[in-house]
Chains A and B, each alone.
Chain A
Amino acid sequence: MTRAPVDDATPLAGEVAQRLRFDKAVLDNGLAVIGEHNAGAASVAAGFFVHTGARDETPEVAGVSHFLEHMVFKGNERYTAEDINRTFDELGAQYNAFTSEERTVYYGAVLPERLPQLIDLLAELMRPALRQEDFDVEKKVILEEIAMYEDRPHFHVFDISAPLFWSGHPLGNSVLGTKESIGALTREQMLEYFRRRYSPQNLVLAVSGRYDWDAVLEQAERIAGAWPTFEAPRERPEAETAAGRDGVVDPKLNRVHVAYYAPGIAMTDPRRYAAAVLGNVLGDSSGSRLYWELVDKGLADNASLGHEANEDQGAFVGYVSVAPERAEDVIARYQEVLARAQAEPPTPEEWRRAQRKLATGLTLRAETPLGRLTSLGATYQSLGVYQSVAEVVDRVMNAQLETGLELLAARPFDASFVFTLGPGSHEAPR
């Protein structure tokens, strides 16, 4: 339940909510089908959310979730890879897929009259052949993708530091894997992973925008009702995160790229809205405490922080880009800003400002069915509930400063982990 609205943002969001309807059904084999119907939408988005990702991988198959995400587009007995790409094009679909630590999502958006064909096609993806010849060609594409991200140090620094912060907890697993793990991966290993993870009870089919619910449900039952089901549990070990400093020297870099981590809270924790507001007060890309201390003064061209809530763990995660000669000073100031927040907590004005910024951002992302789909599906998959955007906005606007103080009282920033990736002319304590 939500508390009473306290802000002018709420009636506005409520205005939208009046036209929305939440639909939900679970097929006998456990496949959940959900929808957020919006009669005013010009398009419709649909996606399969698979509850599997890098955290469900063992080290020998590091990167298999993401490689598999590419492989499902290679088709099956009924569709070749070219058929799949061509059919998406014939539908005029905006479509893609992504893999994270916690889920793999296949999605597309089309004009409403083409939804049945889109769902058909997405369902074909969920039954891939995983042919050896396709596997061999696509492995090269994955290796190119790994090389591409190596050239993006602002991304790479997180890929190499997350395993250290999470200290062996699977949330630190790399989504891409490594050249070595991908190079050694076999089709059989991928097939075994697919058979273990892609169970209907591990899947959510989510739809947002303008659609006919009876037709969607009838179609889902017809296509996916017979998919065999099995248990696909997720391991949830306790996390003991690292604190301190580490780093890697790469002489070809021009800047120092800093990854910052501090313990946070899980998605299931009701204080997560306050954690998001707190992260925004401290580290939003503009107008936050870190912005005024570092970016506004021209000491770093990027210094940010946000709270990232995973299903059973969370973290405050930040990034800094800085000139090598200034790196140590800037890192010290960055940590000082966060440490000081524990003694000088956010003011009501700062708190309010961050709430409003987050509310606007949430509202804007939900303007399009495709923009709305990810949070609709992910929230249902991870928490088992439906939350309208109006409700999320409401919760953000009602997040209490006192809750933020409670989070700060645990002194999360005393247990920070700082990782530098830079040219090495700076003093990085090892």
Chain B
Amino acid sequence: MSSDDDASAVAGTTPEVARTPLTATLENGLTIVYEAMPWLPSVSATLVLPFGSVSDPEGFEGAATVLHEWMQRGAGDLDSRALSDALEDLGVRRGGGSSRESSSLTASFLASELEAVMPLFASMVTSPRLDDAEFEAARELAVQELESLDDSPAQRLFDELLAAFVASPQGRSPYGTAEGLAALTPALVREEARRNLRPTGAVLALAGGADWDRVLAAAREAFGGWQGDGVNLPGVQVGKPGRRHVVADSAQVQIGLAFPGPKPGTDEAYVHNVALNVLSGSMGSRLFTEVREKRGLVYSVSAFFRTLRGFGYTVGYAGTTPERADETLAVFLAELERLSEGVTAEELERAKTGMLSALVMQGESSSATAGRLAADVFNLGRARTLQEITAKVEAVTVEDVNEYVATHRLPEPTIVTLGPARVAAGVAQ
């Protein structure tokens, strides 16, 4: 049997079929989205809540990250230890974090435990205890994570880059500030909980080996009694493009750049994304070839599309030793500029093949699928099917890309460098 025959022979049972996300909105406003992956023994859940550094009150930067930690320290009848033990007794792998405009809780577990896990998972947002006794430790952890950032130059660069690029509160660091964290009180963070832990605008995404009726019933049972209106997040405002250098005693200079791109989910965003994949989608792409393979300037170089709600932007990154930073940035900018001259049909085909194949492979993982569904509903207001994304990527032609890059010349980027020495390349004449 040839491979092709093999592929078609089992097509009827392959994961591509029946990959339609199912959506329901509870009376309280919570959106539930689910994609069945019936061949899996596991289920993954992602709960996204619309609060983050963007919603921190002025002077209390870091409130969101402390709330995110505090709300997991006991809920309902269970104190912090009892809640953690109860989830772990069910074999739940937990995760999540607090970022710029959303905070999330994630859980992966065996499908047989769905009904047992859901009430515990929900309790952290529907009835967190927020005990005084747990507050200091939650804040102290946030302080330490902020201090640890100094020992992670690459992570720090992204924080500095977004702060320089975004003028609206989305530019604030999810880690908060030392002053903001110091100013927090239990009463203030409790008020943040009252404001932010609301079903309206929140998204519960699940994927894995359970059927929709079961998932919906378990979610409704666990989250149905949750009440409250949502919070409106401000729109994204971009700052004036410019240059910034942050002095840091590091072995490598971290180079970051950012510029605004098309609105996520639009046809233009698909075209933009395909073009970016020609630039930096793989080890055969232009940036990797020119910066690393031909010149050996870096270990890591990339450019990628990122989104905030309703707003898309491109981020570029490279890390290199100080004496080579200038050349690295110059080559990087030259490649961005050269993109406007157009791409070849072969380059486009390779970029699309990579994107389409990555979609299939991400679709095999329950946690990646739940994450994709949650991000879609949160950012676009609806979950796209894999088929829809695939069709949109497939439809992008070389004419589309070349017309797009010719008419959307590289806007002046915000460039932030972090390291021992300034970088001269790319300074506006």
- Report how far A19 CA is from B249 CA in the complex, Å: 54
Let me know if B249 and A252 touch, CB within 8 A: yes
* Chain A hits for B289, CB < 8 A: 82, 85
The answer to whether B364 touches A92, judged by C-beta atoms less than 8 angstroms apart, is no
Once bound together, how far apart are the Cα atoms of A71 and B259, in whole Å? 35
Nearest-neighbour CB distance to chain B for A74, whole angstroms, equals 9
CB-defined contacts of A151 to chain B, threshold 8 Å: 152-154, 250-252, 319
Interface string of B173-217 (1 = CB under 8 A from A): 000000000000000000000000000000000000000000000
Residues in B neighbouring A292, C-beta threshold 8 A: 81
- Residue of B3, B4, B81, B110 touching A9 (CB-CB under 8 A): B110
Q: A39 — which chain B residues lie within 8 A by C-beta?
A: 10, 13
Binary per-residue interface labels of chain A (39-65) against chain B in the complex, 1 for a CB within 8 Å, 0 otherwise: 111110000000000000000000000
B365 interface contact, C-beta 8 A: yes
Indicate if B14 sits at the interface (CB-CB under 8 A): yes
Stretch from B89-97, B335-343, B375-383 contacting the other chain:
B89-97
Contact with A40, one of B39, B284, B292 (Cβ below 8 angstroms):
B39
Residues of chain A within 8 A (CB-CB) of B367 are 364
How long is the Cα–Cα vector from A364 to B319 in the complex, in angstroms? 32
Once the chains bind, are B81 and A82 in contact (CB under 8 Å)? no
> Does B409 sit at the interface, judged by CB under 8 A?
no
Let me know if A109 and B41 touch, CB within 8 A.
no
Contact residue among B3, B41, B89, B153 (Cβ-Cβ distance under 8 Å from A112): B3
Candidates B14, B108, B293; contact of A42 at CB < 8 Å: B14
The answer to whether B152 touches A113, judged by C-beta atoms less than 8 angstroms apart, is no
Contact segment of B118-126, B137-145, B222-230: B137-145
Residue pair A144, B284 in contact (C-beta under 8 Å): no
Residues of B within 8 A of A210 (CB): 6-7, 10
**How distant is the Cα of A295 from the Cα of B137 in the complex, in angstroms?**
8
Within 8 A of A (CB), among B104-162: 108-112, 136-141, 144-145, 147-148, 150-154
Q: List chain A residues, Cβ under 8 A from B388.
A: none
Contacts of A9 in B (CB 8 A): 91, 110
CA distance A59 to B235 in the complex (A): 57
Return the chain B residue nearest A145 by Cβ: B299
Chain B residues with CB under 8 Å of A240's CB are none
A192 at the interface (CB under 8 A from B): no
| Residues of B contacting A115 in the complex (Cβ-Cβ under 8 angstroms) | 3
Given contacts A151-B153, A287-B88, A356-B90, contact A367 B6 (CB under 8 A): no
Q: Once the chains are docked, how many angstroms separate the CA of A292 from the CA of B10? A: 48
Residue B240 is within 8 A (CB to CB) of chain A in the complex: no
Flag the segment in B23-31, B164-172, B303-311, B353-361 that touches A.
Answer: B353-361
The answer to whether B321 and A144 touch across the interface, beta carbons within 8 angstroms, is yes
Contact among B84, B85, B285, B361 for A43, CB-based, below 8 A: B361
- Tally A-B pairs: CB < 8 A: 230
A254 pairs with B150, CB closer than 8 A: yes
Which residue of A16, A41, A298, A370 contacts B141 across the interface (Cβ within 8 Å)?
A298
Determine the residue in chain A with the shortest Cβ distance to B150: A254
Chain B residues whose CB sits within 8 angstroms of the CB of A296 once the complex forms? 80, 137
> With A144-B319, A297-B137 given, is the CB distance from A92 to B358 under 8 Å?
yes
A31 to B1, CA, bound (A): 24
Is the interface on chain B under 10, 10 to 19, 20 to 34, or 35 or more residues?
35 or more
Contact across chains for A286 and B94 when beta carbons are under 8 A apart: yes
Say whether A426 faces chain B, with CB atoms less than 8 Å apart.
no
* Chain B residues with CB below 8 A from A43, complex form: 357, 360-361, 364
The answer to whether A356 and B89 touch across the interface, beta carbons within 8 angstroms, is yes
Give every chain B residue within 8 A of A15 (Cβ-Cβ).
41
Min Cβ gap A91→B in Å is 7
In the bound complex, CA of A43 to CA of B361 (Å): 7
A189 CB within 8 Å of chain B: no
Q: Is the CB of A81 within 8 A of B293?
A: yes
Cβ-neighbour of A352 out of B89, B319, B364 (below 8 A): B89
CA distance A317 to B80 in the complex (A): 27
Whether the Cβ atoms of B350 and A287 lie closer than 8 Å is no
Residues of B within 8 A of A148 (CB): 251-252, 299-300, 319
In the assembled complex, the Cα of A113 lies from the Cα of B284 at a distance in Å of 21
Say yes or no: is A139 at the interface (Cβ < 8 Å to chain B).
yes
A287 touches B297 (CB 8 A): no
The chain B residue with its CB closest to the CB of A92 is B357
Q: Kindly list chain A residues whose C-beta atoms are within 8 Å of the C-beta of B357.
A: 43, 91-94, 110-111
Tell me whether A253 and B6 are in contact (CB under 8 A). Answer: no
B373 CB → nearest A CB, Å? 16
For A209, give the chain B residue with the smallest CB separation. Answer: B364
- B282 and chain A: residue at smallest CB distance: A89
Query: CB within 8 A of B350: which of A12, A90, A109, A214?
Result: A90
B239 adjacent to chain A (CB < 8 Å): no
Q: Which residue of the partner chain, among A8, A140, A147, A255, contacts B296 with CB atoms under 8 Å?
A: A140
- Chain B residue at minimal CB-CB distance from A8: B112
Q: Cβ of B283 < 8 Å from any Cβ of A? A: yes
Q: Which chain A positions have C-beta within 8 A of B251?
A: 147-148, 150-151
Question: Across the interface, do B139 and A113 meet the contact criterion of CB distance under 8 Å?
Answer: no
Residues of A contacting B297 with CB < 8 Å? 140, 144
In the complex, residue of chain B having the shortest beta-carbon distance to the beta carbon of A112 = B7
Given known pairs A39-B10, A92-B356, A296-B80, the reply for A360 and B4 (CB within 8 Å) is: no
- What B residues does A295 contact at CB under 8 A? 141
Nearest 4 pairs of A and B residues by beta carbon: A92-B357, A298-B140, A140-B296, A356-B91
Known: A145-B299, A302-B148, A364-B44; 6 extra A-B contacts, CB below 8 A, are: A9-B91, A148-B251, A255-B144, A301-B144, A353-B88, A360-B93
Of the A-B pairs whose beta carbons lie under 8 Å apart in the complex, a sample of 12, sorted by A's number, is A12-B41, A16-B39, A42-B360, A43-B364, A88-B284, A90-B353, A137-B295, A144-B299, A151-B153, A301-B141, A323-B147, A360-B110
**A binding-site residues for B, Cβ under 8 Å:** 8-9, 12-13, 15-16, 19, 39-43, 73, 81-82, 85-86, 88-94, 109-113, 115-116, 137-145, 147-148, 150-154, 210-212, 214-215, 252-255, 257, 286-287, 292, 295-302, 321-323, 349, 352-353, 356-357, 359-361, 363-364, 367-371
